[in-house]
Chain A
Amino acid sequence: MKKYKEKIKTLDIIGCGAVIALYHFPILKYLEKNNFIRVRYCIDSNIDNAKKIAIGFKNAYPAKDLKAEEKADYAVLTTPPEAHYEYLIRVESDMLVEKPPVCTIEEFNNINNLKMMMGKSIIVGFIRRLFPSVRLAKLILEKGLIGKLKAIVVYEGKRWSWPSYSEYPVRSKWGGVIYDTGSHALDMALYISGVNSLGENISFKIKTIKKEPKYEPAHELIAQIILDIDNLNELFLSINLSRRQNLANIIRFIGTKGSILIPTDFSNYAILKINKEIKKVYCNEELVPRSLEDAFKLEWMTLLKREEYRDYFDILEFSNFKLLTIILQTIGEG
């Protein structure tokens, strides 16, 4: 009797810029080598970029646009954000979409409805949610070790050195720092504090906002936001972002009994201060990523083995990002 051989799942890469080249490419190579996937098309409006990526896989073809043939099993979407909506509608495969998933709340609602109608899975590349430090900080807050959360202060900024393949960081309305690293930092704050899962029970108002330059794409941003939970509790959120300055790259959670500080980069610890005593606390869980590369692997396995990685799927699933999308849009338009 012939041994049944499972068909290797196919994947299309949409957007062949620096994000794919630097972060996803090594993992996709690993997945291809281990027969998890076969990369089918590398799609980019700049065919030279597509060729550069396609050459790295066994049987991948470069293309300028989606091919009108049978859908791939999976797709990864890493184009500039303004192109996400169109592809999220056109592509029927299960998808990993890079952050931010969409630009406006209308787009978010449409995609959310479409996703449910079509029964397709979309996860968003807010990879920092998988960092051990984030898991640890969330746990500390949930256990109430620092009391009731009063304020979150975010500092995220590095002098620009990203080898962007296009000029979208200085040309696109969605190319500014808030949509770039800012969306990661803001998502960390909302996710760790748990406010993003409060649904309709949360509202917010922007107290102050300062951008440099004054229009989008802005490269420096300071915003102060008041999050109103159940019309009862106010949570103060301060965001400081820059592409010009090497800011501290940390997030502080300030509670009534103490504070926590975590780096925004990959790390496995948090600094905890309670009653003037400072402690460095490590995440000792076994099943957490040990490196950034590990976190990317986990993100991919979440897409490919949805049932096995159910917990992570629930963390990265598209519908989690409604509040973030509204805040980003408001700041972007502010």
Chain B
Amino acid sequence: MRILVYGPTSYIGEFFIRECLRRGWEVVAKVRNPVKWEIIGFNEIKSKNLITELDKIKKVDAAINFAYVQDSPWHLVHRKTRALISSYLHDALHLSADKIIEISSLAVFGIPLKMDPVPAPLKMQYGNLYMEQKLIAERTLLFEMQTKKAIPVIIRLGNVIGPNAKSWTSNLAKLIILQMPLGNGISNSTYINNIINYICHIITTEKNYLRAFGPIHHIAEFSDYSWKDIVDKLGERLDLEPRYSEQNIKEYMEDDNNIVKNLGKYLPYIFGVLPKESVNPLVKIIYIIKSSFRIKKLDIPNISPVYFEKKQFRSYTLEDWIPPFSFTEAMDNISEWLKKSGYSFFE
């Protein structure tokens, strides 16, 4: 099996590559950040199965994209996302990939979830650059693949937990040891090793079966567990009593809810001073005005509203796949990593 990987230095990309190499698969990695590639230690892997020169390869079995635009001025993000996805699709199709996979996120439904998370294509929404990027990627993939033989696969991930996972594991554990109050919302979580297993399962699944399932998959096998279930478990291991806070968030905005600031930010974009994007100016203006008058309900600084989530993002995966790791196994593995990484409180 030979896989083209975009975003190999991302958190999930790294796990995926190591699993591919463990299985004896060949990985063709598109390296955009050679410094990070080297820091992660991929250059130390002396395996003929890890290839970085795309031009030496004629064919791959599947392609997968973990990459998205980071460290870019906000007004260039849409354009850069389109360029990234076009480049990915170009390489995947040029190398005749049978399955073209895009790793997306539950963030496409808003943060926190603003609509019922159904496994279907979505309309473009605005308000959060990460969400906008993921939507552009999903929509471009589905549109471009309409006339192609390869199968498009979009995997929307829940909140990723696992050793070294930044937002929902290390940041979470840090909040516990720093005595910050957390919420008891639905976790909508998914465990990194289950994600990797599911991606590998898709790659090895028969094409017609995959096509019949449809292009959109949701993975959040631990979405039945609340944040309290996770935090209590970790708190037990870190020898600490977590603190909780009741918050009722109706709506939440990540950006400042200041109309002047928002209009100032978007007007040059709308009137074409800055690079064009395919946004109806009226839609954007309405969004800005609407969002500027929303009231931010969350009072605790530095705590994500995701900890107070009320909507559930359920798994929608191939029927013949069973997550290999249980919740307890995941928690054991995470706790072990947390202890090793200094997250225990006072020894």
* The residue from B35, B178, B343, B347 contacting A170, defined by CB atoms under 8 A apart: B35
B41 adjacent to A219 (CB under 8 Å): yes
Segment among B51-59, B101-109, B166-174, B245-253 that sits at the interface with chain A? B166-174
Which residue of chain B has its CB nearest to the CB of A220?
Answer: B41
Chain B residues with Cβ below 8 Å from A164 are: 35
Task: Assess whether A167 is in contact with B35, with CB atoms less than 8 Å apart.
Answer: yes
- A259 CB contacts on chain B under 8 angstroms: 346
Taking CB atoms, residues of chain B closer than 8 Å to A273 are 345-346
Contact check, B36 vs A160: say whether CB atoms are below 8 A apart: yes
A301 within 8 A of B: no
The answer to whether B11 touches A159, judged by C-beta atoms less than 8 angstroms apart, is yes
Residue A261 lies at the interface, judged by CB distance under 8 Å to chain B: yes
B40 close to A (CB within 8 Å): yes
Q: Which residue of A lies closest to B37 (CB)?
A: A170
Among A54-62, A99-107, A223-231, A246-254, the stretch in contact with B: A246-254
Q: How far is the CA of A169 from the CA of B165 in the complex (A)?
A: 23
Question: Could you tell me which residues of chain A, from 152 to 192, have a CB within 8 Å of some CB in chain B?
Answer: 153, 155, 157, 159-161, 163-164, 167, 169-170
| Inter-subunit contact B179/A271 (CB<8 Å) | yes
**Contact indicator A263/B44 (Cβ below 8 Å):** no
Partner of A153, one of B34, B36, B44, B342: B342
Residue of A whose beta carbon sits closest to that of B165:
A246
A163 with B71, Cβ < 8 A, contacts A155-B342, A246-B170, A261-B346 known: yes
The 0/1 profile, CB within 8 Å of B marked 1, for residues 248-271 of chain A is 111010100001010100000001
B31 at the interface (CB under 8 A from A): no
Specify which chain B residues have a CB less than 8 angstroms from the CB of A243 in the assembled complex: 39
A254 CB contacts on chain B under 8 angstroms = 346-347
- Which chain B residue shows the least CB distance to A156? B342
Which residues of chain B are within 8 angstroms of A161 by Cβ–Cβ distance? Answer: 36, 70-71
Given contacts A169-B35, A247-B342, contact A261 B177 (CB under 8 A): yes
User: Is A160 a contact partner of B41 (Cβ separation < 8 A)?
Assistant: no
Contact, CB under 8 Å: A249 / B174 = yes
With contacts A157-B341, A271-B178 known, is A246 near B41, CB below 8 A? no
| Interface size classification for chain B | 20 to 34
Q: A261-B345, A280-B179 are in contact. Are A246 and B39 (CB under 8 A)?
A: no
The B-contacting residues of A in range 129-162, CB under 8 angstroms, are 153, 155, 157, 159-161
Q: Nearest Cβ in chain A — how far from B113, in angstroms?
A: 25
Contacts of A155 in B (CB 8 A): 341-342
Interface contact B178-A169, CB-CB below 8 Å: no
Residues 8-67 of B contacting A (Cβ, < 8 Å): 11, 34-36, 38-41, 44
Q: How far is the CB of B185 from chain A (nearest CB, A)?
A: 22
Q: Is A109 an interface residue (CB 8 A)?
A: no
A245 at the interface (CB under 8 A from B): yes
CB of A248 within 8 A of CB of B343, answer: yes
| The residue from A169, A240, A248, A261 contacting B39, defined by CB atoms under 8 A apart | A169
> How far is it, in angstroms, between the C-alpha of A259 and the C-alpha of B70 when the chains are bound?
39
Q: A residues within 8 A CB of B342?
A: 153, 155, 240, 247-248, 250
With contact pairs A169-B39, A250-B177, A273-B346 given, residues A159 and B164 touching in the complex (Cβ less than 8 Å): yes
Of residues 200 through 221 on chain A, the ones whose CB sits less than 8 Å from some CB of chain B are: 212-213, 219
- Chain B residues lying within 8 Å of A153, measured Cβ to Cβ, are 342, 347
Q: Could you tell me the distance between the alpha carbons of A212 and B40 in the complex, rounded to whole angstroms? A: 10
| Residue numbers in A under 8 Å from B347 (CB-CB) | 153, 252, 254
Chain B nearest CB from A320 CB (Å) reads 27
Extra contacts, 7 of them, besides A240-B341, A244-B41, A273-B346 (Cβ < 8 A), are A159-B11, A161-B70, A169-B39, A213-B44, A249-B174, A259-B346, A271-B177
A-B contact pairs, 7 of them (CB 8 A): A153-B347, A155-B342, A160-B35, A170-B38, A246-B169, A247-B341, A254-B346
